[in-house]
Amino acid sequence: MKILIIEDEPALASSIEQYLEQEGYLCELAYTFAEAMIKSGAHEYDCILVDLTLPGGNGLDVIRALKKEHSKAGIIIISAKHSLDDKIKGLEIGSDDYLAKPFHLSELNARIKALLRRKQFNGEQRIDFHEISVWMDKQEVKVNQEFLNLTRSEYRLLLYFLANRNRVLSKESIAEHLAGDQADMLDSLDFVYSHIKNLRKKLVQAGAEDYIQAVYGMGYKFSGQ
């Protein structure tokens, strides 16, 4: 899987690159508009992350150029501009997703996985993890071939864990994934614990192993090891 990261801030670009390479993706970086145009035009990528404010031009023009070439790459806009206009325009001209900065790398990772899955398998979308199976299109979860009844929050939490296996997910990241990025919500992180507790209980009761580990104060990790 090849991913092009178009981001003018080198430190941020390298963070993204590092996280995604640990996921097994092949990453390339472009720091300027010109670089972005050359690289996106010369190679095929499975996914392209586009920052909108670039030295030398606008990320939207990169997307337009890609669409003109009928590129099959999935496109995710990552922008610091909290502008609804940009979001709407970006989706209109053919980007697949929009992520506002600052974002969690785990969230970006989950979005990329979901996008690639949508692009690759047009029919059945299934994730397997040991005795757990998830059918994305039907939103069904089975443990050892038995249906597991999860609330919507628990279902989304499970998917988020599955997308970020063996990763430590911070409580903030989980909270934002579940309830959206809303200001002044900081003290409400307790709800994360409550949903994790419920999900863990249901999985274990259904006969799955306890894959959710609390990582000291920091967050949680979903790991089969």
Partner 1 sequence: MKLLQATGRYYLAFSLLLFVLGGWIVYLALSYFIDIETDERLMDAKPALQFQLTEMDSLPAILVISDDVIEISPLPDLEEYEHFSDTTFWDPIEKEFEPYRKFTFHSTIKGQPYRIALSHTKLDSEALMMTSLFAVLGILLLLLLAINLFNRYLSLQLWRPFYRTIQQIRGFTFDKGEPLTPPQTRIEEFEVLNNALELMTTKVLRDYRSLKQFTENASHEIQTPLAIIRSKVELLIQREGRDEKELQAIQQIQEAASRLSKLNSSLLLLARIENRQYTDTHELSLKALIEEKLDQLEPLISAKNLSVHTRLAEVSRNMDSTLAEVLLNNLLINAIKHNLPDGQIEISLQQGQLRVRNTGTPLTGSPEGLFERFRKGAEAGPSLGLGLAIVKEICGIYGFDAGYEYKEGWHTLLISWAG
Site for partner 1 (CB under 8 A): which residue of 138, 147, 215, 224? 215
Interface with partner 1, residue 58, by CB under 8 A: no
- List the interface residues with partner 1, window 127-166 (CB under 8 A): 151-153
Q: Quick one: tokens of 57?
A: 């031009």
Q: Nearer Cβ to partner 1, position 45 or 220?
A: 220
Rounded to the nearest whole angstrom, what is the least distance from the CB of residue 41 to partner 1 in the complex? 27
Contact between 216 and partner 1 per CB under 8 A = yes
Query: Between 26 and 179, whose beta carbon lies closer to partner 1?
Result: 179
Does 55 sit behind a cis peptide bond, omega within 30 degrees of 0 on the bond before it? Answer: no
Query: Least distance from C-beta 134 to partner 1, angstroms?
Result: 19
> x-or-dash pattern for partner 1, window 13-52, by CB under 8 A?
--xx-xx--x------------------------------
Considering only residues 93 through 132, tell me which ones interact with partner 1, judged by CB under 8 A. 101-106
Sheet holding 168-170, edge to edge: 168-170, 219-222, 212-215
Instruction: Please say which residue, 81 or 119, places its beta carbon nearer to partner 1.
Output: 81
